[in-house]
Structure 1
Amino acid sequence: MAEGLASVVGSALGVGVRVEGLTRLSGGASRETWSFVVVPADGGPDRRLVLQRERAGNAATSQAMAVQAELLAAAVAAGVPVPTVVVADPDGVSLGAPAVVMDHVDGETIARRILRDDEYAAARDVLVAQAGAALAAVHRMDDAAVAATEAEDPVAQMRNLLDAFGEPHPAFELGLRWLERNRPAPRPATVVHGDFRMGNLIVGTDGIRAVLDWELAHRGDPIEDLGWFCVRAWRFGSPAVAGGVGSVQQLIDAYVAAGGAPVTVDEVRWWEALGTLRWGLICILQASVHLGGASRSVELAAIGRRTAENEEDLLEIVAGPSERVPAPAARPSAEVGAAPHDRPTAAELLDAVEEYLTEVRDGVPGRLGFHARVAANVVATVRREIELGPDQARLLDERLASLGISATGRAGEAELAAAIRRGDLDDRVDEVTDVVRATVRDKLAVSNPGYWERPL
């Protein structure tokens, strides 16, 4: 790939270049991100650049990369802080997949560092105001770079996507019915970034320096972006609802002060609910890329189990908070096994693998270390499912029966999901919510047992 980069970047700069330090960065479930330095043959100064390239199995097309380059130009014109585009390879002829090359922007993108490290304390004081101003600028961009099609109904879009997966998710059905019944008035369509959140912002000690990842930009309701910024997943454990850095009202005030249209907290909350549902469906989609073989990845596989987190968050929005019962304590690993098998038990073997992966994680930097951390979490998930799964399956069937659902297991969940969609259980919605919530928390007890103990 280095040769291809040297060719396309050299042509764009009008001088021969040599590529050095080509390094793949960690993260990125839908696109690969690489950093590198170009050294001009004429002795000019080195230049730090970043490559974004479509990942195998991603649904994005070559047109998406060409559109991203146009969007970044429109963003500059509207006053949105973005990296400078050096060159695009929309067909992937030179770089092996559709790609765009941009200038490197100094700063941090890892949200947990931004939200916790002392280095960014001053930035945290201004981030929510800067986010509101940046979104106001996004929403006044020229929309010529995005498809000039009528914005699709967002609730129907989510329902159709859920149906396409063929998986029953009663929690999402409850969310869809709430969203349908509590719609805010539609707004004139603007450019919507589609993924404006912590993790897609380059932040320095002075605050936001660049808005990244425009691959999901489209025409739509501008408040979608404000709601997405508030989704719990993008708070990374912070109690502050707006991106982990401020309140919803602070975000709205900054947005309006920078020229955005007036908006209510209830509107943002509705879009937060829809964004939570959307992120849950994206988790299913990412796992399907792995399961279908398009891109085998422990990261993508693990993301599938994060669906339950979004089910929990969506129920907290649409049904209100509920009592949080701690996850059951783990049994000693020596007891999690069955005859005729010898020790180590299955759980003890998994403990050993988890310990090894943790050692690898701590000793290997970058992407491999990140994936070792993910793999260790997967092993812990499997260990908990071996222990808790049989009792959880029995409890699920008992709960379904209490609602008059005759089928069991996954078939019973499908029957319940269909009944919720038809409205058959509307007169028992509180009871249904309790049943669905209990099952979601069983899933969380396996995939992420401490999740509902974190700040909302």
Structure 2
Amino acid sequence: MSEGLMSGSTSTFSSSPTPEWLRMITSSSHVDDVVALTGGASRHTYRFRADGRSMIVQRQRQGSDRSLVAESHLVELARSHGVPAPERVASGTDDDGLEYHVALVVAGETIARKILRDERFAFARTALPAQLGAALGALGTVDPGDAPELDRIDQLDRFREVADELDVVNPVFELAFARLREERPDRSQSASIVHGDFRLGNVIVDERGLAAVIDWELAHLGDPAEDLAWLCAPAWRFGGSRPVAGIGEYEELLDSYAAVSGRTVDRETLTWWRILATLKWGIMCVQQARTHLDGVARSHELAAIGRRVCQTEDDLLRELNDVTDVLP
């Protein structure tokens, strides 16, 4: 079982937060069991106990421009509108000028293969598609004006730029870009808050289903169909046979989203965003492989992710030939 804002193995950092500092920022009398977790490129993450309560603190890495204070505000804003998310304890800036935020641990599992296969999550699997739709529906009720720190990002234009910067030469990717440009949905509607990486692995699941949505660092303004479709991309089905996160049907997700948000997303729009999601993942795979090959960060994991480009090519060809819905 993994607990907290994000799962990860223990690690050692040169400047772990002291119990004294954690007591101060959480207004606690006793802190113990401070353990470092892997926290990604933009932050350090630690689990600890304060007055007997399990908490997670994330601290900004030196040089990162991602605001943890703004992210903490966004998560609390989402919680106030019914999105299940970890409860905020504190946020601010430390003496080194680095931002941090603290939240209560949420018990549950984040590892997709366990959620999809373990017997203890059998009921959760039946409940999750509708719960995930309801969570995104609740997020859709948040006024974007209440999150002024978020920018509107055109995902098709952004990943065209990324592909060009990487000098990617891939006929399947170019075919997808052409189709997406040709069939782009109406962009005149007002923007909504988008999580940006809404999928298994970035949600905490317990035996009853969805316990919390985590990992909000890619949040931005955009079309809410982006989150719905990312959840349905073949890469994020983790071997499951059904289109929604490998465990559910489109109707369960979309009906639940509409019931909570008051907005409908048609299948044509969802399909466009799902194709873009697969294209984005393919470009991300190239990007991560280049990080290894160029010597920026030598990693077997990054190299292995690069081998998934051919899988995204196959997924895209299936999508572009309108056969995804009838094939595993």
The structure with the largest alpha-carbon Rg is: 1
Read off the aligned partner of 2:101 and give its amino acid letter: V
The reply to whether residue 113 of structure 1 matches residue 114 of structure 2 is yes
Q: Distance between the aligned counterparts of 1:234 and 1:153, measured in 2?
A: 22
Cα distance, 1:52–1:188 mapped onto 2, change above 3 Å: same
Q: Deviations over 1:142-183 (max 9, x none)?
A: 32325464x343322221110011121221111101111112
The reply to whether residue 126 of structure 1 matches residue 130 of structure 2 is no
1:213 corresponds in structure 2 to 215
Q: Distance between the aligned counterparts of 1:19 and 1:213, measured in 2?
A: 25
2:53 corresponds in structure 1 to 47
Q: 1:37: Cα distance to partner?
A: 2.4
Q: Distance between the aligned counterparts of 1:289 and 1:146, measured in 2?
A: 32
Greater percentage in helix = 1
Secondary structure in 2 matching 1:87: strand
2:269 corresponds in structure 1 to 267
The reply to whether residue 19 of structure 1 matches residue 32 of structure 2 is yes
Read off the aligned partner of 1:312 and give its amino acid letter: D
**Aligned residues of 1:20 and 1:38 also touching (Cα < 8 A):** yes
2:86 corresponds in structure 1 to 83
Q: 1:290: Cα distance to partner?
A: 3.7
Structure 1 range deviating more: 303-312 or 69-78: 303-312
2:101 corresponds in structure 1 to 100
2:6 corresponds in structure 1 to none
**Aligned residues of 2:150 and 2:220 also touching (Cα < 8 A):** no
| Runs (5+) with no aligned partner, structure 1 | 40-44, 323-454
Q: 1:13: Cα distance to partner?
A: 2.0
Q: Name the structure, 1 or 2, with higher relative contact order (CA <8 Å, separation 6+).
A: 2
- TM-score, scaled relative to structure 2: 0.85
**Aligned residues of 2:16 and 2:36 also touching (Cα < 8 A):** no
**Aligned residues of 2:83 and 2:213 also touching (Cα < 8 A):** yes
1:305 corresponds in structure 2 to 307
Q: 1:318: Cα distance to partner?
A: 1.0
- Computed over aligned residues only, the root mean square deviation of the Cα atoms, in angstroms, reads 2.7
Cα distance, 1:277–1:54 mapped onto 2, change above 3 Å: farther
**Aligned residues of 2:193 and 2:222 also touching (Cα < 8 A):** yes
Greater percentage in strand = 2
Cα distance, 1:152–1:4 mapped onto 2, change above 3 Å: closer
Q: 1:99: Cα distance to partner?
A: 4.4
Task: Give identity over the alignment, percent.
Answer: 38
Cα distance, 1:204–1:15 mapped onto 2, change above 3 Å: closer
Q: Distance between the aligned counterparts of 1:181 and 1:50, measured in 2?
A: 45
Cα distance, 1:166–1:252 mapped onto 2, change above 3 Å: same
* 1:40-439 equivalences in 2 (<5 Å): 45-53=51-59, 61-63=65-67, 65-88=68-91, 93=96, 99-143=100-144, 144-147=146-149, 149=151, 151-186=152-187, 187-321=189-323
Read off the aligned partner of 1:130 and give its amino acid letter: Q
**Aligned residues of 1:9 and 1:86 also touching (Cα < 8 A):** no
Q: Distance between the aligned counterparts of 2:86 and 2:169, measured in 1?
A: 41
**Aligned residues of 2:22 and 2:31 also touching (Cα < 8 A):** no
**Aligned residues of 1:33 and 1:50 also touching (Cα < 8 A):** no
2:47 corresponds in structure 1 to 36
Q: Distance between the aligned counterparts of 2:292 and 2:89, measured in 1?
A: 32
Q: Distance between the aligned counterparts of 1:212 and 1:312, measured in 2?
A: 30
**Aligned residues of 1:107 and 1:204 also touching (Cα < 8 A):** yes
| Runs (5+) with no aligned partner, structure 2 | 1-12
Q: Distance between the aligned counterparts of 1:193 and 1:257, measured in 2?
A: 19
Q: Deviations over 1:262-299 (max 9, x none)?
A: 11111111111111111122222333444455544332
**Aligned residues of 2:130 and 2:252 also touching (Cα < 8 A):** yes
Cα distance, 1:29–1:301 mapped onto 2, change above 3 Å: farther
1:355 corresponds in structure 2 to none
Read off the aligned partner of 1:15 and give its amino acid letter: S
Q: Distance between the aligned counterparts of 1:67 and 1:282, measured in 2?
A: 25
Q: Deviations over 1:352-399 (max 9, x none)?
A: xxxxxxxxxxxxxxxxxxxxxxxxxxxxxxxxxxxxxxxxxxxxxxxx
Q: 1:55: Cα distance to partner?
A: 6.8
Q: 1:36: Cα distance to partner?
A: 2.5
Q: Distance between the aligned counterparts of 1:295 and 1:5, measured in 2?
A: 29
Q: Distance between the aligned counterparts of 1:278 and 1:269, measured in 2?
A: 14
Q: 1:5: Cα distance to partner?
A: 4.6
Cα distance, 1:3–1:236 mapped onto 2, change above 3 Å: closer
